[in-house]
């Protein structure tokens, strides 16, 4: 049945999951969910809420994932106890997609394992659940109670968001990645510029982006307040999904005449590598205009930039070089699969030889959890997504958010640094951005 109004990809997915021919922004809809996720921090609260509701079984043990990623491998007794609560629940419920500590960060694992697919509706008890929009699904973060309700019923209620369209025209410049595009975008619209809204990313510059780059972009939609970030699938998406999908799926695309609350057009050719200065991901400047501050630590990892592309780029910069003697550099592949592949490609050896610490997959320092917490007054260049006060450690520590090439170059220089300042030509690392 033809819809009486043209719809965006977000609206189409919500309509399909509400079982109605069409929806419009502002409408409250009850929708069925395709996949749910919680981690070691949010699962214990969700499990308690689930039991308090009187629920006994999850709606479908093949569609609820629990991933131990945050304080895992457990950093102390209490986090071990939280992991235990999650683990025991997963066993009791027979969850097929329970991922033990070290398997990876949920936002790297789920897309890579083909568990979140084009056209689907996904909820996760983690704000960066918006990452999966890179494959063309509607995916949003919720709290533990909302997740518990969905675990019990397979449904939730949502308000249909207005959509903001972001068009990146022209081609990407050297050294510019998905991370830079999204930082630039957040800097332009501010950290509540997309609150309650869908962010739809389009434009010719994005055709150049690998899936890893798109995942990094969608990952940070929440940093502008977005309800979801989403890409219309292209051939690259469909190829990525075809190799992985664990279920059949039905991709959808925005109608050409769909209505947008606002359309932003950005000239990709004018965008250079970006940096978010303390203490907000919207405090963004082009790298060329940021003071070359000395640093104490570099972190290359997280659900934003701990993927293979990111590690390859960083390794090409660190190959044959040494981390600055006054800098600690920490590299954390975002999943075991990524770690294994990096091992096969020799990347881990490059990192180790350069003087980096390489750890099992975990969120680790991204949330000031473990594996590289910052002390008072320390400064870090991080490839993660948040640089709030106290996010990575002491409330007086500072984090600068950047892409992996800038982070790796900064590790060598001992200060914030563009790779070209080390005499590295883009051609040496190209093909992987």
Partner 1 sequence: MKEEVAAVGRVWKYGNDINTDVIIPARYLFTTDPAELAAHCMEDLDPSFAGRVQPGDVIVAGRNFGCGSSREHAPVAIRAAGVACVIAVSFARIFYRNAINVGLPILECPEAVEALQDGDQVEVDVAAGTIRRVATGETFQAAPFPPFMQEILRCGGL
Nearest to 140 by CA among 50, 244, 29, 222: 222
Write down the least CB distance from residue 9 to partner 1, Å. 19
30 binds, among partner 1, ligand SF4, none (CB under 5 to 8 A by kind): none
Residue from 142, 181, 284, 433 binding partner 1 (CB under 8 A): 142
301 torsion bin: left (phi>0), alpha (psi -120 to 50), beta (else)? left
Residue from 93, 139, 144, 297 binding partner 1 (CB under 8 A): 144
For residue 109, give both structure tokens. Answer: 């694992």
Per-residue contact string for residues 91-120; x = within reach of ligand SF4 by CB under 6 A: --------------x-x-------------
Write down the least CB distance from residue 247 to ligand SF4, Å. 24
Under the binding rule (CB under 6 A), the answer on residue 305 touching ligand SF4 is no
Under the binding rule (CB under 8 A), the answer on residue 143 touching partner 1 is yes
Under the binding rule (CB under 6 A), the answer on residue 128 touching ligand SF4 is yes
Q: Closer to partner 1 at the Cβ: 71 or 132? A: 71
Under the binding rule (CB under 6 A), the answer on residue 189 touching ligand SF4 is no
Write down the least CB distance from residue 361 to ligand SF4, Å. 10
Residue from 10, 185, 210, 384 binding ligand SF4 (CB under 6 A): 384
Under the binding rule (CB under 8 A), the answer on residue 388 touching partner 1 is yes
Under the binding rule (CB under 8 A), the answer on residue 389 touching partner 1 is yes
Write down the least CB distance from residue 16 to partner 1, Å. 22
Q: Closer to ligand SF4 at the Cβ: 366 or 374? A: 366
Number of residues near ligand SF4 (by CB under 6 A): 13
Write down the least CB distance from residue 133 to ligand SF4, Å. 15
Under the binding rule (CB under 8 A), the answer on residue 399 touching partner 1 is no
Under the binding rule (CB under 6 A), the answer on residue 429 touching ligand SF4 is no
> What is the 3 state secondary structure string of the chain?
CCCCCCCCHHHHHHHHHHCCCCCCCCCEEEEECCEEEEECCHHHHHHHHHHHCCCCCCCCCCCEEEECCCCCCCCCHHHHHHHHHHHHHHHHHCCCEEECCCCECHHHHHHHCCCCCCCCEEEEECHHHHHHHHHCCEEEECCHHHHHHHHHHCEEEEECCCEEEEEEECCCCCCCCHHHHHHHHHHHHCCCCCECCEEEEECHHHHCCCHHHHHHHHHHHHHHCECEEEECCCHHHHHHHHCCCCCCCCCCCCCCCCCCCEEEEEEHHHCCCEEECCCCCCCEEEHHHCCCCECCEEEECHHHHCCHHHHHHHHHHHCCCCCCCCCEEEECCCEHHHHHHHHHCCHHHHHHHHCCEECCCCCHHHHCCCCCCECCCCEEEECCCCCCCCCCECCCCEEEECCHHHHHHHHHHCECCCHHHHCCCHHHHCCCC
CA dihedral 133, 139, 143, 144 (to 10 degrees): -120
Alpha-carbon span 207 to 200, nearest angstrom: 14
Under the binding rule (CB under 6 A), the answer on residue 311 touching ligand SF4 is no
Positions 94 through 133 that interact with partner 1 (CB under 8 A): 125-127, 129
Number of residues near partner 1 (by CB under 8 A): 43
Under the binding rule (CB under 8 A), the answer on residue 44 touching partner 1 is yes
Phi and psi of 164, rounded to 5°? -100, 130
| Cβ atoms within 10 Å, residue 55 | 16
Under the binding rule (CB under 6 A), the answer on residue 367 touching ligand SF4 is yes
Under the binding rule (CB under 6 A), the answer on residue 211 touching ligand SF4 is no
Peptide bond into 418 cis (omega under 30): no
Per-residue contact string for residues 194-233; x = within reach of partner 1 by CB under 8 A: -xx-------------------------x--x-x------
302 binds, among ligand SF4, partner 1, none (CB under 5 to 8 A by kind): ligand SF4
Positions 51 through 80 that interact with ligand SF4 (CB under 6 A): 69-70
Q: Which stretch binds ligand SF4 (CB under 6 A): 140-148, 164-172, 221-229, 359-367?
A: 359-367
Residues that bind partner 1 in the complex, under the rule CB under 8 A? 41-42, 44-45, 48-49, 53, 70-71, 76, 78-79, 81-82, 125-127, 129, 141-146, 149, 191-192, 195-196, 222, 225, 227, 280, 367-369, 373, 386, 388-391, 395
Q: Which residues here bind ligand SF4, judged by CB under 6 A?
A: 69-70, 105, 107, 126, 128, 302-303, 363, 366-367, 384-385
């Amino acid at each position: 049945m033809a819809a009486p109004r043209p719809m965006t990809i977000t609206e189409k997915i919500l309509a399909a999951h509400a079982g109605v021919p069409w929806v419009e922004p502002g409408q409250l809809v009850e929708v069925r969910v395709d996949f749910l996720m919680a981690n070691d921090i949010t699962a214990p609260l969700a499990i308690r809420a689930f039991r308090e509701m009187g629920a006994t079984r999850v709606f479908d043990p093949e569609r609820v994932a629990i991933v131990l990623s945050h304080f895992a491998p457990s950093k102390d007794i209490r986090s071990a106890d939280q992991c235990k609560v999650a683990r025991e629940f997963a066993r009791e419920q027979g969850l097929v997609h329970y991922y033990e500590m070290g398997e990876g960060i949920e936002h790297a694992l789920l897309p890579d394992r083909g568990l979140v697919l084009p056209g689907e509706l996904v909820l996760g008890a983690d704000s960066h659940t918006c990452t999966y929009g890179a494959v063309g699904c509607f995916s949003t973060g919720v709290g533990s109670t909302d997740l518990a309700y969905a675990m019990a019923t397979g449904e939730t209620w949502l308000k249909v968001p207005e959509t903001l369209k972001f068009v990146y025209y022209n081609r990407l410049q050297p050294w510019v990645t998905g991370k830079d595009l999204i930082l630039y975008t957040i800097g332009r619209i501010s950290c509540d510029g997309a609150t309650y809204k869908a962010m739809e990313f389009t434009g010719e510059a994005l055709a150049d982006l690998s899936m890893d780059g798109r995942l990094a972009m969608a990952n940070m939609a929440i940093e502008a307040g977005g309800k979801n970030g989403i890409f219309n699938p292209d051939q690259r998406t469909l190829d990525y999904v075809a190799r992985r999908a664990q279920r059949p799926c039905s991709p959808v695309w925005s109608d050409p005449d769909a209505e947008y609350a606002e359309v932003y057009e950005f000239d990709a050719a004018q965008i250079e590598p970006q940096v978010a200065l303390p203490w907000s991901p919207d405090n963004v400047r082009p790298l060329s205009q940021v003071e070359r501050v000395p640093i104490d630590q570099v972190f290359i990892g997280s659900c934003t930039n701990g993927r293979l592309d990111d590690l390859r780029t960083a390794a090409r910069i660190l190959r044959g070089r040494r981390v600055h003697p006054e800098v600690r550099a920490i590299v954390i592949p975002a999943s075991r699969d990524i770690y294994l592949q990096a091992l096969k490609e020799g990347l881990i050896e490059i990192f180790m030889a350069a003087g980096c610490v390489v750890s099992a997959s975990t969120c680790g320092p991204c949330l000031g959890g473990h594996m590289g917490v910052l002390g008072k007054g320390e400064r870090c260049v991080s490839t993660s997504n948040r640089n709030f006060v106290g996010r990575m450690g002491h409330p007086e520590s500072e984090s600068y958010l950047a892409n992996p090439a800038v982070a790796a170059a900064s590790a060598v220089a001992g200060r914030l640094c563009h790779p070209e300042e080390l005499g590295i030509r883009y051609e040496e690392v190209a093909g992987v951005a």
